[in-house]
Structure 1
Amino acid sequence: MYVYTPLYSEMVGYVSFLSAFIPIWVFLVLGWQLCSSYGTAALRNESDLLEFFWTVVPSVCVGFLCLLNLGCLGNDLVLKTRGLIKVIGRQWYWSYDLNDGCGLYDSMMSDFIDGVDKPLRVYVDTPYNLSVTSSDVIHSFALPIVNLKVDAIPGRLNNVFFCMNHVGVFVGYCSELCGAGHAYMPIVMEVIEKAFVKD
């Protein structure tokens, strides 16, 4: 499973650029200092050229980094997803609302270990927008095996884009202490192929 936003590839490039630029710049400055100094030199009180470079070079660097950041603004929600999955944390079960006509349904713990009566079903290789909230106290929708954890906070919607890249049944739990039944609200996500869906 991979969790991503539309900014992911730009952020990887941005961090890679900074990771390469900063050490190269440090070694260039250190090398210049070592090669150009021939002992102790007396400096004048003023140096217009030095002050010019102290002002212009950092300004150009900061301006360039700002331009990289401005290119990412506004691209947050342009990802084409299959749909929105609304997840509501309640004491002590989860409610799901899919946009496929099933409507809102509750997923409660069953008698089987790590089982629920109605799991969340998603398609493999299909991007989704998961919108998580809570109706009572703070919960946390967590599927550790697929690196997915989203806090469910009353009155707030937390969104994450995700796309499962392999079929299977994945189990998680609420990872925020939410009361006496905290241990009894498992999360089961079934990832299926589109071919297995009845018409």
Structure 2
Amino acid sequence: MYQQAKRLSKLALCPVLMLLSLLSTGAWATEGAPQRWQLNMTPGVTEVGAKIYDLHMFVFWVCVVVGILVFGVMFYSVFAYRKERHQEPATFHENTRVEIAWTIVPFLLLLVMAVPATKTLIEIYDTDDADLDVLVTGYQWKWKYEYINPNGDNVSFFSNLLTDKAEIANSEAKGSNYLIEVDEPLVLPVDKKVRFLVTANDVLHAWWVPALAVKRDAVPGFINEAWTKATETGVYRGQCAELCGRDHGFMPIVVNVVEEAEYQEWMAGKQAEAAELKALMSKEFTMDELVARGKTVYNRSCAACHGPAGEGGVGPAIAGSAIATGPTKGHLDVVVNGVPGSAMQAFGGQLNEVDLAAVVTYQRNGFGNNMGDMLQPIDIYKFKKGQ
């Protein structure tokens, strides 16, 4: 009896501690965005998120009641049968009624919790009848979003950390959205069911936006499904929830939920950008145009590893490197295909042909390299086709 009571007391201790934490921190707040002091989860801005929150609180309070009852019996027994009162403790063992009671009661409690939990789980994994499909691909350390349209007119772009390097290096004051701001947020229409197809290009990642009640592992070679249906417009932030490398903390997620009309306007703008990029494929750029565009691409995609001035860092220096001053084909091979077994990623699928031509031209003519040669988008296209 003593050992069984001791075991029950340990099980009951956790919900009591949780309750004390809840009351002491004010973690019952229901704002859409979590606060620094907050321990509890939030309902978010989706119906399924609210159901998850309600289920969580229901199970929590069941545990609290169980904890109070178990500790109540324990404290009463300690007080009523203490040694000073000369009470004789019971000496029975393996009481059949007690055994039946503490078998049936937990079983019934589990049923009470299992039924709503099962209903909620079924709804969480029901990705049918989506109004919009978005393919989410994790890269070190950025996200790629591709809107899959039935007419085949897909729109895709990368979302990169926007926080200034000076803030990260503590040479400037940190902004209010430090490490949680991006250059291209994901835009979704309100009150529409959106299905996410989540995968990864290199290592394990996890796409997590608490307010949208979505958290799915991004696994190379696999596609995991999730969905959301935001009921309120706004900006909702998340992060990669898998330790994916040294810059794991530098790949935030920002989702803008907007009205349908604003979403259609944004989508039309993205489709126009894609059409403009397609037209640029046939354009002959000047050296100045390529260098100017290449500098922007370099600062966004290369400077973190190779240094703002090409001096090197995590990766080798670009200034005076054998790659940037060597044969053009070898330089292209490194940029397009990456270097296996190193931190150098393959940018052939991350940058379009125009940006690849521009950044390679910039690397070959900047940082004192002054090779004098340049590449056009058609050269990148031919290189990829000829591999």
TM-score, scaled to structure 1: 0.66
| CA–CA separation in structure 1 for the residues paired with 2:89 and 2:206 | 63
Aligned to 2:134: 85
Alignment of 1:51-70 (within 5 A): 51-70=95-114
| CA–CA separation in structure 1 for the residues paired with 2:203 and 2:144 | 14
Check conservation: 1:6, 1:76, Cα contact below 8 A.
Answer: no
Query: Structure 2 vs 1, CA of residues 121 and 173 (structure 1 numbering), >3 Å: closer, same or farther?
Result: same
Which has the higher mean CA deviation after the structures are superposed, 132-141 or 172-181? 172-181
Query: Structure 2 vs 1, CA of residues 64 and 99 (structure 1 numbering), >3 Å: closer, same or farther?
Result: farther
Displacement of 1:82 in angstroms is 4.5
**Structure 1 residue 122 corresponds to structure 2 residue 188:** yes
Alignment of 1:2-81 (within 5 A): 2=44, 4=49, 7-32=52-77, 34-35=79-80, 38-41=85-88, 43-44=90-91, 46=92, 51-71=95-115, 72-73=117-118, 75-78=120-123
Check conservation: 1:115, 1:188, Cα contact below 8 A.
Answer: no
Count of equivalent residues: 193
| CA–CA separation in structure 2 for the residues paired with 1:89 and 1:138 | 8
Q: Alpha-carbon deviations, 1:125-165, whole Å to 9, x = none?
A: 55544442212222343568989765422244455554545
Q: Where does structure 2 lack aligned partners over 5 or more consecutive residues?
A: 1-31, 33-43, 165-181, 266-387
Q: In structure 1, what residue type is equivalent to 2:202?
A: D
Residue of structure 1 aligned with 2:157, choices 101, 106, 117: 106
Q: Sequence identity, in percent?
A: 19
SS in 1 for 2:64: helix
| CA–CA separation in structure 1 for the residues paired with 2:107 and 2:217 | 35
SS in 2 for 1:78: helix
Tell me the C-alpha RMSD between the 2 structures. Answer: 4.2
Q: In structure 2, what residue type is equivalent to 1:86?
A: L
**Structure 1 residue 141 corresponds to structure 2 residue 207:** yes
Q: Alpha-carbon deviations, 1:2-44, whole Å to 9, x = none?
A: 2728554333212211212321332144325534664141655
Displacement of 1:51 in angstroms is 0.8
Q: In structure 1, what residue type is equivalent to 2:135?
A: K
Displacement of 1:87 in angstroms is 1.0
SS in 2 for 1:141: strand
Q: Where is the helix percentage greater, Structure 1 or Structure 2? A: 2
Q: Where is the strand percentage greater, Structure 1 or Structure 2? A: 1
Q: In structure 2, what residue type is equivalent to 1:14?
A: V
Which runs of at least 4 in structure 1 moved beyond 6 Å after TM superposition? 110-113, 144-148, 179-182
Query: Structure 2 vs 1, CA of residues 30 and 78 (structure 1 numbering), >3 Å: closer, same or farther?
Result: same
Using CA pairs below 8 Å that are at least 6 residues apart, which structure has the higher relative contact order? 1
Displacement of 1:63 in angstroms is 0.9
Check conservation: 1:138, 1:178, Cα contact below 8 A.
Answer: no
Query: Structure 2 vs 1, CA of residues 40 and 15 (structure 1 numbering), >3 Å: closer, same or farther?
Result: same
Displacement of 1:99 in angstroms is 5.2
TM-score, scaled to structure 2: 0.39
| CA–CA separation in structure 2 for the residues paired with 1:35 and 1:181 | 56
